[in-house]
Amino acid sequence: MNLKKLLWMAAGFVLLGIAYIGVIMPGIPFSIPAVFSAYCFARSSERMHKWLYGHKIFGPFLTNWETKKVFPLKAKYGMLGFMALGAWWGWQYPSSPEEYDQRIKDGKKIGLFR
């Protein structure tokens, strides 16, 4: 295996790791690193490329991306849900104890139900 293929494979593994982190952590996208990881593996290792397309999490997304160039509907709803949850959390809970004390002092509501 030559140096060029090794660099493509290393980039593919780094991007795949970022994609895994993006699946677990809300706010970090997994889609772009997964697509670029598939590209890197296509340039370096046919075995890893096939493995990625057969993967339980990334396989359906990559296949849908390759054929239709769109996100799956379930992923869109998931993204909307996490964005709504993050917005609600940021509005419900103040960012610091000082802000909390200032809101109480000013008589402002702390959250939706208070």
Return the domain boundaries, the chain: 1-71, 73-114
Considering 18-27, 64-73, 104-113, the range whose residues carry the highest mean pLDDT is 18-27
Helix (H) or strand (E) holding 62, with range, is helix 58-68
Q: What is the pLDDT of residue 82?
A: 82
Percent pLDDT > 90 in the chain is: 39
Q: What is the pLDDT of residue 50?
A: 94
59 touches 23 (CB < 8 A): no
Report phi then psi at 76, rounded to 5. Answer: -60, -45
pLDDT in tens, 53-91: 999 988 888 888 888 877 777 777 887 888 888 888 777
Chain-centroid distance of CA 7 in Å reads 24
Q: How many whole angstroms separate alpha carbon 35 and alpha carbon 33?
A: 6
Taking the CA atoms of the chain, what radius of gyration do you get in angstroms? 21
